[in-house]
Structure 1
Amino acid sequence: MFRKTAGEVLIDLLIEWGVDHIYGMPGDSINSIIEPLRKAQDKIKFIQVRHEEAGALAAASYAKLTGKIGVCMAIAGPGAVHLLNGLYDAKLDRVPVLAITGQVESDLLGTDFFQEVNLERMFDDVAVYNQRIMSAEQLPAVVNQAIRMAYTKRGVAVLPFPDEIPRFEVGAEARFTSSFFTMPELFPREFDLEKAKIVLRQAERPVILTGKGAKGARDSLIEFADHIAAPIVLTLPAKGVIPDEHPYCIGGLGLIGTKPAYEAMRNADTLIMVGTSYPFTAFLPERAKTIQIDTDPVQIGKRYPVDVGLAGDANRTLKWLTQQLDKRHDRTFLEHHQKLMKEWWETLDRQEKDLSVPIKPQRVIHALQKVAKDDAILSVDVGNVTVWMARHFRMRNQQFVISSWLATLGCGLPGAIAGKIAFPDKQVFAVCGDGGFGMTMNDFVTAVKYRLPIVVVVLNNHKIAMIKFEQEVMGNVEFGTDLTNPNFAKYAEACGGIGYRVERPEELQPAFEDAVSQKKPCIIDVEVDANEAPMPAKITFGQAAGFLKHMLKELFEERKLDLPPLR
């Protein structure tokens, strides 16, 4: 009787788990998986990327945008090595990803064979589950376990396949398990909830710091904020949890944040952290009673001292607290920061209307804002572009995806590819600096090949501009930050897409309006001012002193006076 091969069973199991596409590059050690994947293209698509790193970054972005597992695939050796950056992005942002890799044949392991790499050791740090497939009979149970672990632990599962295994038939003695997972509904202990009530009743200047763990809890978060008269500060991964211009939102925190958020943290007597383990603790209150809500008890008190830990779902926990507390009538603290936020928006409005040349980056974000629909997907790369988007793009109901913890350059384009595959009917933008786009720009042809009409916005200043600013703040002369770029608009056309070159402010809006109407991938290449520093909302004395030191070095080292030689 004919039995299915291990490769065929693998594809069947992925389909059972709801996987409908895989990012990867075919090659010799996975060709026995590629063949059954080819036969199942009506149920599960293979998206051929031009670099495995882009495939892993796309898989991570897909997981961030949808909550579903992202899947990527690569050959043994170099292909598997290329996956690592994207897999670490998934690990640090805590999203489910499955990586399937080839490996040399089992009887060649340990012989230093061609492309042999110790994959189990290499993937050990990045993975919550890392198991080489040892036999065809082992495969069904291990695949189910890998995907279940990726979902429940919110991390990366890796399955290296020795070359011969996918060709073997799966015998009747194989152990088949269930292709689903289930999660508990977490609610804090009554003792902890009562402690939180006492702290909140005594609060006079409460501030809510919201992380991505509050996604899906918008209504209960706003109701809670209204009930205790607290402004809401958003971490970068939480941008969009509530609209940026909501009356209770006072923006982000830290170097990408707003002055009202900085002031609120400085004056708060009570901090409520919801779904975040915020790492930049220097921006948090020096002395404040602190409550932290998180589904993962390990995160509570991990980076910042807390008085009360509530291990539970944000939505249910906030609803319970709202019901149990009397509504606060003194809204002086909230209204003060709402007034500051109104003034902050007016400041940003003035920056966005600047007509100078080279174009100010803030004006580019303003142009994007005008064409982006309420449900658009925004895949944002790392660098100064993160600052401009975090501050100036006013989220309503759009989705915002970024490499937040690893902060890896090059994530913007793969994220947009994943966004368009996940949501084909929505507008999708990649917003990149020239440094970030240059890292993965070869996969623009992937968008062309699969007819994914994304819009890539490149803020082109011929610099690794954030590093330039960091060097200057340290008091150093910038070094190693210049970039030699192609004309990205012509590059788009060479790839089969559409390109727009923008050098003057009046050219911006027409380019954006035309690009969003196209049925092909587009690149809008905007020449922006390299000297527009992404200054933090509140400049410290150390930063100001460092910048002054840099200016003196520039004067005395780079512009030496032409004096006669000493006699």
Structure 2
Amino acid sequence: MFRKTAGEELVDLLIEWGVDHVYGMPGDSINSIIEPLRKAQDKIKFIQVRHEEAGALAAASYAKLTGKLGVCMAIAGPGAIHLLNGLYDAKLDQAPVLAITGQIESDLIGTGFFQEVNLERMFDDVAVYNQRIMSAEQLPAVVNQAIRMAYTKKGVSVLTIPDDIQKFEVDAKARITTSSFTMPELFPQKHDLEKATSALNKAEKPVILAGKGAKDARESLLAFAEHIGAPIVLTLPAKGIIPDEHPLCIGGLGLIGTKPSYEAMKNADTLIMVGTSYPFTGFLPDKAKTIHIDTDPAQIGKRYPTDIGLAGNADKTLKWLTQNIEKHTDRSFLEHHQELMKKWEEKLHNQENDTSIPIKPQRVMYAVQQVAHDDAILSVDVGNVTVWTARHFRMTNQRFILSSWLATLGCGLPGAIAGQIAYPNKQVFAICGDGGFGMTMNDFVTAVKYNLPIIVVVLNNHKIAMIKFEQEVMGNIEFGTELTNPNFAKYAEACGGIGYRVEKLEELMPAFEKAVKQNKPCIIDVIVDVNEAPMPAKITFAQAAGYTKHMLKELFEEGKIDLPPL
């Protein structure tokens, strides 16, 4: 009678759960899993990455984009350690991910053997489920539970499988459980809804702050906002939930937000938070009645004082509220901020039309806007590039992903790889700074190897520019921010892709127009103005004072201001 090995059983269970690809790098302690993956290539693909961190970041991005399980794999020791950054990204952004790692043989654990690391302890903080497989018979039930936990807890599950156990046969009487999960549908309690109704009926200056928890509630969110005459402010992870140019949208919040959203929050008498636990509470109203809608009751009131909590699904809760509260006829608060938004947009358009050299980053985002399809995927890295994309790319129906809570440099390229695998017929852009791209650029060859026609846009200023700006705002002279970069266009060609180097304004649009017509991975390397600072919408006195202090220090150091005699 044929019996499957634990490695074969694992692969079959992944297929049963609907997993169609795994990111990883082969190695000695997982070769007994790699072999069944090879045999099942018609059902599940193994995507070989050049660094396990990129594999984990890609798995997290795939989960963020699709809601489906992202899976990554690594050997014991160094490979497993490399996964951690991407797994923490998944944990903090609540993305369902399964990490499978090898381990030295069972009877060697605890002896200090080659590449031995206590993986259960190492993964304990990042994981919602973290188990070492103790026997082949145990594996089916544990795999099912790991995947079920990743989905239901929206987090990371880790399975550590010793090398010898992967090879053992699974007994026919092994514990078998179900390869499925079920989620509850939450709706707020009646007395909470009644309190919210009363508060909303009295609201004169309501503002909505929508987070990624509202991503499946576009129509109900817009209908609710229209009903109460409230402008909608979006958190960064929620960008694209409603179109950026919708009349009810007044942009983002915080240092990368808009001035109209800052003003709306300052003047609001009622704040409705939908699917967000916004961390930068200094940008929220000082005194406002606050209603917080979230499917996770633990998030309600976690970071900001909440008067009324509505633990429920955003779509159904907003529909109920719209049907049960009075329609607001006074639109003056909304209309005032709509007028402010028109002036803000005019300011942004002027920046995007700046023709000076070096090329302004805002001008690059305008170029992306011109060629991006309505359903394109944008994987955005961390740094100044996040600011330029958030402010200057106007989302319609595109998808936008980034490392939101961890904000890890290097997420842009792995996210684009995952995006192209998830949606092979859509345009996919990685929008990166030179610092972020340099972190994971070796995996551009992964895109080449698997014929993934992603377009990588590198805003190249030879600086870790956001840190330069932060140092200057503190009143310090910048230090440690200089980058020595290769020609990224030539690098693309060396990898087998296509590269475009843009130094002059007249080269910008032709490069983008050519790139989107190619069916190969491309890098557009744009030299941008290093001195273009991502100024916040509202500059505080402390920021202005710090920047002035920095300028004075520079002038003294350069000898352009004489020190008074002692």
Relative to the length of structure 1, the TM-score reads: 0.99
| Alignment partner, residue 520 of structure 1 | 520
Q: Write the distance in 1 (CA, Å) between the matches of 2:564 and 2:83.
A: 58
| Alignment partner, residue 170 of structure 1 | 170
Note the C-alpha offset of 1:505: 1.3
| Structure 1 position 118 matched with structure 2 position 127 | no
Q: Write the distance in 2 (CA, Å) between the matches of 1:147 and 1:528.
A: 44
| Alignment partner, residue 336 of structure 1 | 336
Q: Write the distance in 2 (CA, Å) between the matches of 1:346 and 1:496.
A: 41
Q: Write the distance in 1 (CA, Å) between the matches of 2:172 and 2:102.
A: 25
Q: Write the distance in 2 (CA, Å) between the matches of 1:506 and 1:256.
A: 29
Divergent runs of 4+, >4 A: 560-566
| Structure 1 position 274 matched with structure 2 position 271 | no
Note the C-alpha offset of 1:504: 1.2
Which segments of 5 or more consecutive residues in structure 2 lack a partner in the other structure?
Answer: none
CA contact (8 A) 2:379 2:400 kept: yes
| Alignment partner, residue 508 of structure 2 | 508
SS at match of 1:169: coil
> For 1:426-459, what per-residue CA distance to the aligned partner results, in whole angstroms no more than 9, with x for missing partners?
0000000000000000000000000000000000
Note the C-alpha offset of 1:559: 3.5
| Structure 1 position 215 matched with structure 2 position 200 | no
CA separation of 1:208/1:563 partners in 2, compared to 1, >3 Å: closer, same or farther? closer
CA separation of 1:350/1:143 partners in 2, compared to 1, >3 Å: closer, same or farther? same
CA separation of 1:563/1:391 partners in 2, compared to 1, >3 Å: closer, same or farther? closer
Q: Write the distance in 1 (CA, Å) between the matches of 2:53 and 2:560.
A: 45
Q: Write the distance in 1 (CA, Å) between the matches of 2:137 and 2:495.
A: 45
| Structure 1 position 182 matched with structure 2 position 182 | yes
Note the C-alpha offset of 1:222: 0.1
Note the C-alpha offset of 1:560: 6.1
Relative to the length of structure 2, the TM-score reads: 0.99
CA separation of 1:562/1:248 partners in 2, compared to 1, >3 Å: closer, same or farther? closer
Note the C-alpha offset of 1:2: 1.4
> For 1:358-407, what per-residue CA distance to the aligned partner results, in whole angstroms no more than 9, with x for missing partners?
00000000000000000000000000000000000000000000000000
SS at match of 2:132: coil
Q: Amino acid of the residue matched to residue 215 of structure 1?
A: K
Matches within 5 A, 1:293-332: 293-332=293-332
| Structure 1 position 356 matched with structure 2 position 356 | yes
| Alignment partner, residue 376 of structure 2 | 376
| Alignment partner, residue 66 of structure 1 | 66
Q: Write the distance in 2 (CA, Å) between the matches of 1:198 and 1:324.
A: 10
Matches within 5 A, 1:85-124: 85-124=85-124
Matches within 5 A, 1:130-169: 130-169=130-169
Q: Write the distance in 2 (CA, Å) between the matches of 1:71 and 1:149.
A: 14
Q: Amino acid of the residue matched to residue 391 of structure 2?
A: R
Note the C-alpha offset of 1:545: 0.4
| Alignment partner, residue 395 of structure 1 | 395
Which segments of 5 or more consecutive residues in structure 1 lack a partner in the other structure?
Answer: none
Q: Write the distance in 2 (CA, Å) between the matches of 1:536 and 1:478.
A: 19
| Alignment partner, residue 263 of structure 1 | 263
> For 1:401-434, what per-residue CA distance to the aligned partner results, in whole angstroms no more than 9, with x for missing partners?
0000000000000000000000000000000000
Q: Write the distance in 1 (CA, Å) between the matches of 2:350 and 2:533.
A: 16
Q: Write the distance in 1 (CA, Å) between the matches of 2:6 and 2:558.
A: 65
> For 1:243-267, what per-residue CA distance to the aligned partner results, in whole angstroms no more than 9, with x for missing partners?
0000000000000000000000000
CA contact (8 A) 2:556 2:563 kept: no
CA separation of 1:562/1:536 partners in 2, compared to 1, >3 Å: closer, same or farther? closer
Q: Amino acid of the residue matched to residue 19 of structure 1?
A: V
Q: Amino acid of the residue matched to residue 355 of structure 2?
A: L
| Structure 1 position 498 matched with structure 2 position 498 | yes
| Alignment partner, residue 530 of structure 2 | 530
Note the C-alpha offset of 1:484: 0.1
Note the C-alpha offset of 1:562: 8.7
Q: Write the distance in 1 (CA, Å) between the matches of 2:205 and 2:535.
A: 27
| Alignment partner, residue 482 of structure 1 | 482
| Alignment partner, residue 23 of structure 2 | 23
SS at match of 2:260: helix
Question: What RMSD, in angstroms, separates the aligned Cα atoms of the two structures?
Answer: 1.1
Note the C-alpha offset of 1:564: 13
Note the C-alpha offset of 1:558: 3.6
CA contact (8 A) 2:556 2:562 kept: no
SS at match of 2:321: helix
Note the C-alpha offset of 1:561: 6.4
| Alignment partner, residue 554 of structure 1 | 554
> For 1:210-264, what per-residue CA distance to the aligned partner results, in whole angstroms no more than 9, with x for missing partners?
0000001000000000000000000000000000000000000000000000000
CA separation of 1:414/1:559 partners in 2, compared to 1, >3 Å: closer, same or farther? farther
| Alignment partner, residue 14 of structure 1 | 14
> For 1:91-135, what per-residue CA distance to the aligned partner results, in whole angstroms no more than 9, with x for missing partners?
000010000000000000000000000000000000000000000
The share of aligned pairs that are identical, in percent, is: 83
Q: Amino acid of the residue matched to residue 384 of structure 2?
A: N
